[in-house]
Amino acid sequence: MTRLLPAPDALVGRRLDLALSKMLGLSRAKASDLVAQGHARIMGRRVNKATTLMSGDVIELDEPESTKQVEPVAEDMPVVYEDEDVVVVDKPVGVAAHPSIGWTGPTVLGSLLQRGTHITSMGAQGRQGIVSRLDAGTSGLMLVCKSDLAYKEMRRQFARHEVVKIYHALVQGNLTEDKATIEAPIGRARVSDFRFTVTPAGKEAITHWDVLERFGSATLVSVNLETGRTHQIRVHFSSIGHPLVGDHMYGANPDLADRLGLKRQWLHAMRLEFRHPRTKIWTKVVSSYPADLRRSLQIERQGATGIRS
Q: What is the pLDDT of residues 45-99, one digit of tens each?
A: 889 999 998 888 888 888 765 444 567 888 889 999 999 999 999 999 999 998 8
pTM here?
A: 0.77
User: Based on the domain organization, do 154 and 253 belong to the same domain?
Assistant: no
Domain residue limits at 132 = 70-160
Residue 238 DSSP SS3: helix
User: Based on the domain organization, do 89 and 225 belong to the same domain?
Assistant: no
User: Based on the domain organization, do 287 and 179 belong to the same domain?
Assistant: yes
Active site residue 135: yes
User: Based on the domain organization, do 91 and 132 belong to the same domain?
Assistant: yes
Specify the CATH number for the domain of residue 20. 3.10.290.10
Looking at residue 192, what is its pLDDT? 60
User: Based on the domain organization, do 272 and 176 belong to the same domain?
Assistant: yes
Cα–Cα distance between 202 and 251 in angstroms, integer? 20
Specify the CATH number for the domain of residue 122. 3.30.2350.10
Say how far residue 1 (Cα) sits from the centre of its chain: 29
Cα–Cα distance between 243 and 170 in angstroms, integer? 9
User: Based on the domain organization, do 145 and 6 belong to the same domain?
Assistant: no
Provide the 10 A C-beta neighbour count for residue 244. 29
From 33, 62, 83, 135, active-site residue: 135
Whether the CB-CB separation of 112 and 98 falls below 8 Å is answered with no
Looking at residue 293, what is its pLDDT? 97
Taking CA atoms, 131 is separated from 101, 153, 230, in Å, by 20, 10, 13
Mean pLDDT is lowest, of 77-86, 216-225, 299-308, for 299-308
Among the candidates 106, 130, 160, a domain finishes at 160
Mean pLDDT is lowest, of 70-74, 225-229, 240-244, 246-250, for 70-74
User: Based on the domain organization, do 78 and 35 belong to the same domain?
Assistant: no
Residues recorded for the chain: 309
Whether the CB-CB separation of 130 and 144 falls below 8 Å is answered with yes
Q: How many domains does the chain have?
A: 3
Cα–Cα distance between 240 and 49 in angstroms, integer? 38
User: Based on the domain organization, do 151 and 55 belong to the same domain?
Assistant: no
Cα–Cα distance between 188 and 202 in angstroms, integer? 8
State mean pLDDT over 280-308: 89
Looking at residue 193, what is its pLDDT? 57
pLDDT reading at 308 higher than 80: no
Average pLDDT value over all residues in the chain: 90
State mean pLDDT over 221-241: 95
Whether the CB-CB separation of 38 and 49 falls below 8 Å is answered with no
